[in-house]
Chain A
């Protein structure tokens, strides 16, 4: 959307104008049991327009960049409905900078995401005694998000953020529950050994009889969750990652040492980090 053109047109019909523009690019790669299931990318953008006239507010958005007249028409129609608006739009022009952008994001490729998914999946598999038919899941997503807010009074703000998010997961046998952790940084970085260790150890704790005994561990099947629990508060999401035939296994840490967790003695030296949980 040509901001200047939109601003010019909008000022003719309103006392105050605010334009919000957004662009997001993502690539998401999903692995199950060491193999790629899916790669989806998106390049999405949009413009939202708010108008103030005689104390009323009008709003419209468009996910294309070529019809400013249509956007104004929508906002004017909304204005006519008579929804009370704020006295004035914010006139902020300066905000403290946030460290949300890392230029190295431009060099992140799908190949890098795939390699990392494979590495993390294999690392998890090693910790639980191999791929068990779908137990091990991994999702990596790179994301660039840019936002700009412009008002008719001349104030303008913009921000951009980069993120690479990794979500390794392990699904439990015989249930729809998955254990996962999410790591996110403004740049590409490997999923940490600490996360893989935590998942491997916690999974083993559950499936080897220490703590809660999972009936039939070693022969049952399991399924997991879409987006590795990214939207775990949505009741109707469906499982994607699956598992079966998970052999009871003493966990090993990334450095090859046996885990500090000892089956049978119910002692776990490391505390379970906050933020990691078993879903459902």
Chain B
């Protein structure tokens, strides 16, 4: 494959060019309630060519090899047009030329598990909530994505990296009278099919929670001191802070860029945030990004002070900062853009009980349920929570939303738990910035936040 790609690149007259060929096998099994709604096995293949010429960096995605000649002419022409119309010529930050092949160490390769066995496993997990009288329906999907990626550049890099992701997730709906509640569930990851086995407890736990939600009280809106659960804190970290750490998000936004200067104090003195895709195991792991750059552990905030940023080669050159290896594409239909790998809040010193004691009276808010950000403002839903009274979890609450300003909230982090938890991959997508990145990992320990605005239904 490398020779084929090199021969394609050899036909391009440009200052720089790279080509990525990707083959993706995608299996999906869906259940709606008791019914098997669909089983598909699909394959995608395609090339993405990027060309830098005359100061313009253009890209083209092609699925049919027969279209490649025309595609190459198009992308070169587009790069020249872009160079003529751009405010400043594009430069790419230098990176080492690499030749490597990376195959994942899998704890059971999903390709060796029959589709019947996968469907049976999903049926078994699906039956757990459906056995309960209060549960009226489920929507569960098994997804398996196997990507084989080849990257070649005119600088001489030749990299193959395979990524295997499996997961099962969806929602469980329960009803009592006129009240309907739902809860999300999800298992999976990037380490092989073994992570899917023996996970009955997860579905039992989620079923118990949705049954409890039928008896929970709607939250009364107000400003509270709260403990955010690891998944809720992880989503806050990803959405509110992480995207502002992506250089392409802020490069034209002078107000945020001025604020996001290295050395700026943006959070409380106990808050440290890192993106680390280098460690095998968590969902967001990879070795090389789709520009052929080795990803590195990237501290973003240290004790409240901004110290790092996520970059492509283009933005690293434009910002005059080091490359980080975070330019990643969803699949063969897309040119890469800057994405997080595994972003998380570094653990602190407090136990969960210690956090509850410190909180005294307030709320414990667990597990995210949608939301959005607008610049530095955020608003996220939560699946459930508890009132905390005298340092103890009390009654369950529902219909929760939190909102606020990213910087203010980061300043209000007053204690951090000692146990880091990273989100599992349910295979349903981790981040939807332009393209879907199913391997976007995020997490945090429990964190204690003062004066958070909590809205009710």
Contact = CB atoms under 8 A, between A and B. Distances in A.
Contact of B86 (A35, A238, A242): A35
A184 interface: no
A63 to B, nearest CB: 4
Nearest to A25: B67
Interface string B292-332: 00000000000000000000000000000000000000001
B342 to A, nearest CB: 17
Interface stretch (A38-46, A86-94, A122-130, A249-257): A38-46
Contact of A81 (B77, B115, B374): B115
Given A42-B333, A81-B29, A238-B243, A67 B62 contact: no
B220 interface: no
Contacts of A236: 239, 371-373, 431-433
Contacts of B85: 31, 35-36, 114, 118
A81 B63 contact: no
A168 B76 CA distance: 26
Contact of B374 (A31, A45, A280): A280
B59 interface: yes
B373 A41 contact: no
Nearest to B45: A64
Interface residues of A, number: 65
Contacts of A235: 370-372
Interface residues of B, number: 63
B60 A41 contact: yes
B44 interface: yes
Contact of B39 (A32, A39, A83, A177): A83
B374 A62 contact: no
Nearest to A38: B82
Interface stretch (B189-197, B250-258, B416-424): B250-258
Contacts of A74: 40-43
A55 interface: no
A234 B38 CA distance: 25
B78 interface: yes
Given A36-B82, A67-B43, A83-B38, A43 B253 contact: no
Interface string A9-50: 000000000000000000100011101111111111110000
A58 B115 CA distance: 13
Contacts, number: 189
A174 B370 CA distance: 25
A182 interface: no
A154 to B, nearest CB: 26
Contacts of A242: 252-254
A78 B45 CA distance: 20
A62 B77 CA distance: 29
Given A60-B40, A78-B41, A41 B254 contact: no
Contact of B61 (A42, A70, A176): A42
B11 interface: no
Given A83-B39, A175-B374, A242-B253, A44 B243 contact: no
A36 B36 CA distance: 48
B375 A175 contact: yes
Contacts of B248: 240
B165 to A, nearest CB: 18
B179 interface: no
A132 to B, nearest CB: 11
A173 to B, nearest CB: 9
B60 A81 contact: no
A235 B373 CA distance: 7
A40 B71 contact: no
B247 to A, nearest CB: 12
A83 B61 contact: no
A122 to B, nearest CB: 12
A64 B81 contact: no
Interface stretch (A145-153, A195-203, A218-226): A218-226
A214 interface: no
Contact of B252 (A44, A60, A71, A241): A241
B253 A223 contact: yes
B369 to A, nearest CB: 11
A113 to B, nearest CB: 9
Interface in B74-127: 74-75, 77-79, 81-82, 85-87, 115-116, 119
A194 interface: no
B176 interface: no
A43 B433 contact: no
Given A63-B46, A67-B43, A81 B252 contact: no
Contact of A63 (B56, B66, B82, B332): B332
B375 A223 contact: yes
A80 B227 CA distance: 48
B402 interface: no
Contacts of B375: 175-176, 223, 239
A159 interface: no
A40 B59 contact: yes
B44 A64 contact: yes
Contact of A40 (B37, B45, B58): B58
Contacts of B200: none
Nearest to B370: A235
B249 interface: yes
A43 B44 contact: no
A40 B75 CA distance: 8
B252 A134 contact: yes
A101 interface: no
Given A41-B58, A42-B62, A221-B253, A82 B36 contact: yes
A210 B185 CA distance: 48
Interface of B: 29, 35-46, 56, 58-67, 70-71, 74-75, 77-79, 81-82, 85-87, 115-116, 119, 239, 243, 246, 248-249, 252-256, 332-333, 335, 370-375, 377, 431-434
19 contacts: A27-B78, A40-B59, A41-B59, A41-B61, A43-B60, A43-B70, A58-B39, A63-B63, A67-B43, A77-B39, A82-B36, A118-B85, A134-B253, A221-B254, A223-B252, A227-B434, A238-B249, A239-B375, A240-B249
Interface of A: 27, 31-33, 35-46, 58-67, 70-71, 73-75, 77-78, 80-84, 110-111, 114, 118, 133-134, 174-177, 220-223, 226-227, 234-242, 244, 280
9 shortest interchain CB distances as A-B pairs: A221-B255, A36-B85, A235-B372, A81-B39, A74-B41, A63-B44, A176-B374, A35-B87, A176-B375
